[in-house]
Chain A
Amino acid sequence: MRALASVRDAEGMSAVIDVQHLHKTYGDTVAVADVSFTVHEGEIFGILGPNGAGKTTTVECVEGLRDPDGGQISVLGLDPQRDRDALTQRLGVQLQQSRLPDQLRVSEALELFSSFYPDPADWRELMEVLGISAKASTPFRKLSGGQQQRLSIALALVGNPRVAVLDELTTGLDPQARRDTWELIEGVRERGVTIVLVTHFMEEAERLCNRVAVIDAGRVVALDTPAALAEQVQTGQRIQFRPSAPIDDFLLESLPEVTSIQHKGDALVVTGTGNALNAVISVLARNQIVAEQLRVDQATLEDAFLAFTGKHPDADDDQDDEGKTKP
């Protein structure tokens, strides 16, 4: 076993997961071309990308469920393939598309999984924390989607792991259940667990993640905090309003601060640099036009995602290259 538990990255922070030049193919299909990233102790690290980008394959290699074709992976100083036994004791996972036997009850699943680990958490308390105590004797089949996800989070945590990998945690949940789950995840971080979160929900990554790796076509195309990623793509503003009277596009286009104009029904969407708002309002005032329903947006992680991958986060990945045109 290699003693890499205290590997430190460039910023001197202790690295819990270190992935270097990961490569994985299935037959002729390259699932992961070249992925490298480092996860720091105590953070929530997001892996973001369109469907089929290689997110799940990447974390499955980290979990030791798949054998990489190339590159190095170290998790808590362990090699996921060679040190499987030691790794499974310290790593909690929530798999995408993994269900429990229909008739297995909530309390039975937790008691069973807690018997797998040398130093498990108190599963009754965990059931309490995750708000599924009332469902203790309900079979898996009869749980709602949100309750099933809560149970799978509980099962990922029952072994008292130092690292938890959660894959598509909130897919298929209604917005309320999704927000509830986010609160749970923040609670898990407060327990000192380092979390890797695979998602294609921008809002989720923006809300929860300390840092995000954007993966597209098997490569990391961007890696930074959600705010920094948003800044990278657009330093300016997006101004949306409904002019009280028709206005000639040219008046606005000729402003040096304005980069583009779009019509959305009656509304206009003007993008531009930091001073665009003042310039636009002045022009409107000079023409006795009022900007009704005025809204000004900063760039979001979603804009960054679109810029880096050329895809809408919810778009289907089966489309051909012509579908990847930049917005």
Chain B
Amino acid sequence: MTATTIAAPAARRRSAMTQLVITEMKLFTRGRAMLALVLSAGIPLLLIVIFGGIHSFNTPVSKYGGLTTLDVYVPILLVFAIALLCLVSMPATLATYRELGYLRRLKSTPAGPLRVLVAELAVKLLVSVVIVIVILAVARGGYGVAAPRQAGGFLVAGVLAVAALMAVGLFVSAVAPTAGAARGIGAVLLYLMMFFAGLWLPIQNMPSVLQHISHATPLGAAVPALQNATQGQWPTWLQLVTMGAYAVAFALAAARFFRWE
């Protein structure tokens, strides 16, 4: 073998995957996509500021096992941010790409359409992590909300919650016929899941039938798991398995039904 010639410009070139992630990130900060970015970070932070200013929300409640109402709400607001990104923003983006014929165009290049889907997931994951850190930092720094005492359990529950939401989001992207439909289905799922996550009425305050239904939904499993970890306990196996099952089932269904065109 002879020595290969040195291609100077090639050394500076980014891989297709890196360039796709950078491009997806830029697109996420523009136009309509930016609205989801602003809302997913803004609504939880706004609610923390409002709830933090209510005196009774900062006193421990026996029903919550000694946590304050604000403590209980932080995990709910975390999953809200992630759910908005994964259930509404991501399906709308992917369905738009399909509608435009962009996925088809990518299919005719060496990069292929799968990479843009991976790039989209990577961007949503990255933004989710940043928003979670910001929310936790503001809650801790501004309003003295306790940091998760069982950090490992918090992380595991968080990862599984993200996986379950992404899988459901991908499934919505797969079956929604248009970008408008994807946005609509995603929004309905967001409200339903957030209801069972306790956004309007914390799960602990729900009638027992609703509590049981809640625990069988992805976020109704995620929120108590995160609350447990905040208090220093490991999430229960049932909570983790519930989230994992949603992640696997919807990822498989999405892979089965996804259309590139």
Contact = CB atoms under 8 A, between A and B. Distances in A.
B261 to A, nearest CB: 8
B153 to A, nearest CB: 39
Interface in A245-266: none
Nearest to B99: A99
A30 interface: no
B96 A115 contact: no
A44 to B, nearest CB: 20
Contacts of A302: none
A130 B136 CA distance: 50
A88 B27 contact: no
Given A88-B110, A115-B13, A115-B14, A108 B100 contact: no
Contacts of B110: 85, 88-89, 116-118, 159
Interface string A112-130: 1101111000000000000
B126 to A, nearest CB: 18
Contacts of A159: 109-110
Nearest to B26: A108
Contact of B101 (A63, A64, A98, A104): A98
A174 interface: no
A32 interface: no
B104 A98 contact: yes
B100 A99 contact: yes
A97 to B, nearest CB: 6
Contact of A63 (B14, B20, B33, B108): B108
B97 A101 contact: yes
Contacts of A97: 101
Contact of B16 (A85, A100, A116): A116
Interface in A74-116: 85, 88-89, 91, 93, 95, 97-104, 108, 111-113, 115-116
Interface in B1-37: 13-16, 18-20, 23, 26-27, 30-31, 33
A266 B107 CA distance: 56
A153 B23 CA distance: 20
Interface centre among A64, A104, A112 (most CB of B within 10 A): A112
B51 interface: no
Interface in A155-173: 155, 159
B195 interface: no
Contacts of A117: 109-110
Interface string A137-155: 0010000000000000001
Contacts of A118: 110
Interface centre among A89, A97, A101 (most CB of B within 10 A): A101
A147 to B, nearest CB: 17
Contacts of B15: 115
Contacts of A103: 27, 30-31, 33
Nearest to A118: B110
Contact of B111 (A64, A65, A116): A116
Q: What's the dominant secondary structure at chain B's contact region?
A: helix
A93 B101 CA distance: 13
Nearest to B31: A103
A246 to B, nearest CB: 58
A98 to B, nearest CB: 3
A108 B23 contact: yes
Nearest to A116: B111
A113 to B, nearest CB: 7
Contacts of B101: 95, 97-99
Contacts of A111: 19
Contacts of A116: 16, 109-111
B105 interface: yes
A97 B26 CA distance: 24
A65 B104 contact: yes
A237 B26 CA distance: 61
A103 B27 CA distance: 6
Contacts of A99: 100-102
A249 B104 CA distance: 58
A113 B100 contact: no
Contacts of A88: 108-110, 112
B147 to A, nearest CB: 38
Given A89-B110, A115-B16, A116-B111, A98 B23 contact: no
A75 to B, nearest CB: 12
Nearest to B100: A99
A101 B109 contact: no
A91 B107 CA distance: 12
A271 B16 CA distance: 60
Contact of B109 (A100, A108, A113, A139): A113
Nearest to A95: B105
Interface of B: 13-16, 18-20, 23, 26-27, 30-31, 33, 96-97, 100-102, 104-105, 107-112
10 contacts: A88-B108, A89-B110, A95-B104, A100-B102, A103-B33, A115-B13, A115-B15, A115-B16, A115-B111, A117-B110
Q: Which 5 A-B pairs have the closest CB atoms?
A: A98-B101, A115-B19, A103-B30, A116-B111, A99-B100
Interface of A: 63-65, 85, 88-89, 91, 93, 95, 97-104, 108, 111-113, 115-118, 139, 155, 159
